[in-house]
Amino acid sequence: MCGIGTLKLFALLRDKRILTKDNLPYMEYREKGYLDIHISKWVHDTMGEMARSKTVVTPSGIEFINELIQRQINRNPKQQGHFTPAS
């Protein structure tokens, strides 16, 4: 996606308050239809019922994130492909 790696992409989305620190989308972006959460449940032999959450991006979310990345790059063209999140 626009030459940005997974770690930097997730850092950008957390920095922009699109994802929580656990990489789950804030409700605002779920309601806009950009991101969703898929939950998998299973029963572990010794630990009982378990669940795993996974953030998924919708087609409109891909467009939204691409625009977000392009705006970030346009602010500092020298950093193209080298986004550094705020500390």
> Does 79 fall in a domain?
no
- Examine residue 32 and state whether it is found in any structural domain, yes or no: yes
Cβ-based burial of 80 (10 A; exposed 0-12, middle 13-18, buried ≥19): middle
- Is residue 86 in a domain? no
Report phi then psi at 24, rounded to 5.
-105, 145
Which tokens is 68 given?
Answer: 């977000």
Q: Is residue 51 part of a domain?
A: yes
Q: What is the pLDDT of residue 74?
A: 84
Whether 87 is covered by a domain: the verdict is: no
Residue 83 lies inside a defined structural domain of this protein = no
- The CA distances from residue 80 to 2, 59, 63, 71, in Å, are 9, 23, 18, 11
Listed as ranges, residues in the chain with pLDDT below 70 are 1-3, 77-87
Q: How far is 66 from 71, CA to CA, in rounded Å?
A: 9
Is residue 81 situated within a structural domain?
A: no
Domain of residue 49: give its range.
6-74
- Residue 35 has a pLDDT of 98
pLDDT confidence of residue 58: 97
Q: pLDDT tens digits, residue range 16-38?
A: 999 999 999 999 999 999 999 99
Number of structural domains the chain divides into? 1
